[in-house]
Amino acid sequence: MDKYCLYQGNILSLDQLPFAPFERLIYGDGFFETMRYDHGRIPLWNYHLQRIQSSCEALGFEVPTEFSLSSDDSVLNQLIEWLGKASSHRLRLVVVRRRGGLYKALYEEASFYIESQPLEHSWNQANPIDVIKLLPSHVDNASMPGKGPRKGDYVTPSKQRGANEEVLFYNGRDCMTEGSFTNILYYRNGLWQTPSAAFPMVQGVFRAFLLDKNLVQEGVLSRFLLQNVEALLLCNAIQGIIPVQSILGKEVKHTKEIIEEFIQQLNSTLP
């Protein structure tokens, strides 16, 4: 079955693209950004835009004009024409270098396309998830804010999980960092916290939003204390808050009131 995408205002099948995006991603000459399309808008768009611009800068790309200004609605208008305003979708924006040499980058122009997949759940209404593995992370992602060159680090763990399952990572100091498709939120010592960005990780836009609104603060959590926190949640820009129902087969017993109060505060600040 053909997969279709939005490219230069046209709807094409992926094999009609005039470049090989997956090859570029494999060799670290591109990145991707996952976003939520909700009834004619992209929530947290300014956060996505900042990360797209930072990722282009890290890879030496010229920022495509469509993503250079927050006031540019050309991509959104194309998405509305394609997807309408009556549904929600998971978008995958892929940005790669338009051309390159065998051994070094020769050009700075970037090409991009957007894939779409329908979504069933509203924000903050995801099904509870099981954390099935804790794995060591051996990467240094300090220079790359988005997703792309590190894609392979998530592929194998992702294949090890099923629907409504997640794999979490910890670093060489045994401190929790992130999930294969989520960021980590935990309640400890009277505060909602998220692992510090001093540790290599993909800093999700939903996580950035929570930090900006002072709903969470950065902290450090040992993997040996993960099951002892008063409450544990996961999050990403597609699903929002994701409840955790078990860790390594052991049911998580959270303080329900703490989570409900947090969701209430969050809902009052969502754009």
The pLDDT of residue 72 is 78
Mean pLDDT by 10 residues, the chain (271 residues): 84 86 74 94 94 89 85 88 94 82 59 93 90 83 62 56 87 93 95 93 93 97 94 96 94 88 92 77
Give the pLDDT score at 270: 83
Q: Which residues have C-beta within 8 Å of that of residue 13, sequence separation ≥ 6?
A: 2, 3, 4, 5
Quote the CA–CA distance of 185 and 233 in Å, as a whole number.
5
* Residue 17: other Cβ atoms inside 10 A: 15
Cα distances (Å, whole numbers) of residue 173 to 188, 200, 204, 238: 19, 12, 22, 30
All domains in the chain, ordered by first residue: 4-118 (3.30.470.10), 129-269 (3.20.10.10)
- Calpha distance 202→269 (Å, rounded): 23
Please report the pLDDT score of residue 33 as a whole number. 93
| CA nearest to 166, candidates 260, 243, 252, 262 | 243
So what's the pLDDT on residue 225?
A: 94
- Quote the DSSP letter at residue 102: S
Question: What does the pLDDT read at residue 157?
Answer: 58
